[in-house]
Structure 1
């Protein structure tokens, strides 16, 4: 099929997810892609004018927008619909920021949500929705097994929940490997390593906070934000069990996921680790780690347990005590064969079920799209 994507790509690593993940996979599957990048135009108005013209000039089977109200105008979506071209809005931040697409979402033929919790909200706006979680590109995220690293590994800047989770492991005598330039640049400070602050000096209510008040998950996130203002920021403990390394390249990240004995998975959203019942979210690394042949170590949530089988393809824990006990159990030297078998199982499950082409095929099926579609032109 010919797919037209609206995708703001500045070439940075932060904006590379669509390009690396599903655009690459769709091309490999034989689809033709046309990408409209808003950054190639002087302003939003010029971009929408060019996009509206493309609706009449490009023989596309589907228009896919990765952006909402901030870039795509309602009239532009209407232009595609007038030309008989189906439209899809992919909302990857719909759990904590659904109102980013409030005005434009109902205009699309289908809205793809990567978190199911806010589907009732989107439906109340008149949207036709499908829930499909993230996935991982099996051609990019591949097992690269070398020498196993006998620790719990984490790649990225530690703050908030991440620091608390790592500190719990260190207190329990569990070896941890962290890959972050920030930690190497941090000056010594006694018993703790300074981690970046996510706090602002005052509790301020902005437009985004007002939106959070409008739905249940949002109110929990907002309450955690308020609580954080009155809670001391967790600092990473200094410990003989802590091994700090520089940040790594994308390719090296893949190898590390393959080689960590256990790869730490964090699912708590923002500051909700401060709540009695945190809000959890499935992230990209939830699927990147197993696609790399990594053994993910994460909190038990029903959704995640439905994607990978605990004790066979992933290690899940329900309590702090179980967190420490399972870390020690699976890091034991006599568990190396079991770890490798679980890694192989995780890759197999990810490759069979959690690819982007599988997700898009579900979208195509929901929209009754086929390679031989014909359009009505006016």
Structure 2
């Protein structure tokens, strides 16, 4: 299958001032190549630039006009060179009429989107234009079914280099969490540390790093107002109010001892920590502002694929979606709360053979059944069988 790709590519210069995104292009291109399929892209088109402006910003409309005109012209000239158009587009980036034109030229259009349940209370109408939406979260499937949007439930597109697809040759004694800081993660980790579990924490925000690729651009008053209005349109007034109540809640003022906090690792250290830690932790809870009484959502994250692919001994937070990815207790271990996290960590720390079994089983499952080549083959079958 030959794929025309729109997956967060940028100009290749300095990254845009939006949350980290370049890994998506890296993963999907390598996964396509490994599958034996081919990708091509529209020369010079900066897809990630469409993520920078706020909704209704004139700069966004200008980007859409330029980007989709360039896309339509390219497809008209090169239609014979590819079979599908595979995208990772946010609703604000989508031009419905452009997608209609592409489909009219006989090109099936597939959009990947993650963080569905975190982003939407109601599925955006823009997603209805695609032939198929690649949905990684099991918890979001009902939203797509209710909206009547064609979709396929496949794992997130994760790829690791072949040199990391073996078991680590050494194991440290560390219990490690790698991830950006938010108050839910801080609460959980502070709780388990108070219970005596010596977790080493590293990632963005724990030391207040100034990461240019993850800092949102400064906005003027008009932009802030537009952003707040968009939040109301997307989530509703009740959710908007709940969001601001929680924003000022003191629950995010969680203190963690300095000896448990480590500097954000570079790429090589990130890989080493994931692979060689005695236990690598995953946390699947995320903050939500869809209600006053509910503080969080849980769903399986990209880390639930990456850590097993790297050969980690992985202990992650339970979500129902994990039961469709792994045999729990055999491939990966899960916990439901802080007490179970501490209990299972201590059990794993006592059993080297158990840790090795988890490393082997989860790596085999993730690299096999949940790889990008497997997902692309299922998309191909769905579209052309």
TM-score, with structure 2 as normaliser: 0.79
Q: Secondary structure at the match of 1:85?
A: coil
Give the C-alpha shift of residue 52 in structure 1: 0.7
Q: 2:371 aligns with which of 346, 351, 355?
A: 355
**Counterpart pick for 2:23 among 7, 17, 34:** 17
CA displacement at 1:224 relative to structure 2? 6.3
* Aligned match of 2:381: 365
Moved more, 355-364 or 33-42: 33-42
1:260 to 254, 266, 277: 277
Q: CA deviation at 1:185?
A: 6.5
Q: How far did residue 184 of structure 1 move? A: 4.9
Q: Which has the higher helix share?
A: 2
Distance 1:87 1:143, change over 3 A: same
Identify unmatched segments of 5+ residues in structure 2: 50-61, 210-214, 216-226
Q: CA deviation at 1:3?
A: 0.5
Structure 1 segment 69-80 matched on structure 2, within 5 A: 69-80=91-102
Q: Would you say the 8 A contact 1:134–1:282 is kept in 2? A: no
Aligned pair 1:35/2:52, yes or no?
no
> What do the CA deviations read for 1:160-206 (whole angstroms, capped 9, x no partner)?
121112112211111111224754579xxxxxxxxx9xxxxxxx964
Give the corresponding residue for 2:85. 63
Q: Kindly tell me: are residues 101 and 87 of structure 1, through their superposed partners in 2, closer, same or farther at Cα, counting changes over 3 Å?
A: farther
Structure 1 residues 143 and 228, CA gap change in structure 2 (3 angstroms): farther
Match in the other structure for 2:212: none
Counterpart for residue 305 of structure 2: 287
Residue 337 of structure 1 corresponds to which residue in structure 2? 353
CA positional deviation for 1:297: 1.4
| C-alpha displacement of 1:84 | 0.9
Per-residue Cα deviation, 1:83-116 (whole angstroms, up to 9, x for no partner) = 1111111122322224897242212111222224
List runs of 5+ in structure 1 lacking aligned partners. Answer: 187-195, 197-203, 370-378
Q: Helix, strand or coil for the counterpart of 2:39? A: strand
Q: CA deviation at 1:360?
A: 1.5
8 Å CA contact 2:309–2:366 kept in 1: the answer is yes
Aligned-partner Cα distance in 2 for 1:357–1:136? 10
Alignment CA distance shift 1:69-1:182 (3 Å): closer
Aligned pair in 2 of structure 1 residues 171, 124: CA closer, same or farther (>3 Å)? closer
For residues 365 and 117 of structure 1, do their structure 2 counterparts lie closer, same or farther at Cα, with a shift above 3 Å needed?
Answer: same
CA deviation after TM superposition for structure 1 residue 237, in Å? 2.3
**TM-aligned CA distance change 1:24 to 1:274, over 3 Å:** farther
Given that 1:68 and 1:104 are in contact with CA atoms closer than 8 Å, whether structure 2 keeps it comes out as: no
**Alignment partner, residue 7 of structure 1:** 7
Q: Does 1:233 align with 2:260?
A: no
Q: CA-to-partner distance for each residue in 1:131-185, whole Å, 9 max, x for gaps?
A: 2231421436534624322122012333312111211221111111122475457
- Structure-1 residue corresponding to 2:192: 169
Q: Distance in 1 between matches of 2:204 and 2:275?
A: 21
Aligned residues: 347
The alpha-carbon deviation at position 123 of structure 1 amounts to: 4.3
User: How has the CA–CA distance of structure 1 residues 142 and 72 changed in structure 2, closer, same or farther, with 3 Å as cutoff?
Assistant: same
Q: CA RMSD in A?
A: 3.3
Distance of 1:112 and 1:132 partners within structure 2: 6
Q: Find the aligned partners of 2:369 and 2:292 in 1 and give their Cα distance.
A: 33
How many angstroms apart in 2 are the aligned matches of 1:30 and 1:173? 49
SS in 1 for 2:384: coil
Judge conservation of contact 2:181–2:204 (CA < 8 Å) in 1: no
The 10-residue stretch of structure 1 (129-138 or 92-101) with the greater mean CA deviation from structure 2? 92-101
Query: Could you report, residue by residue, the CA deviation over 1:311-365 in whole angstroms, capped at 9, with x for unpaired residues?
Result: 3221212343222211222123xx1232122111111111221111111211111
Decide which moves more: 222-231 or 343-352. Answer: 222-231
Encode CA deviations 1:232-275: one digit per residue, 9 max, x unaligned: 32323227xx4433222223212211111111111112257995
Q: Distance in 2 between matches of 1:365 and 1:303?
A: 23
For residue 297 of structure 1, what is the aligned residue in structure 2? Answer: 315
Instruction: Check 1:151–1:136 CA distance in 2 against 1; reply closer, same or farther (3 A cut).
Output: same
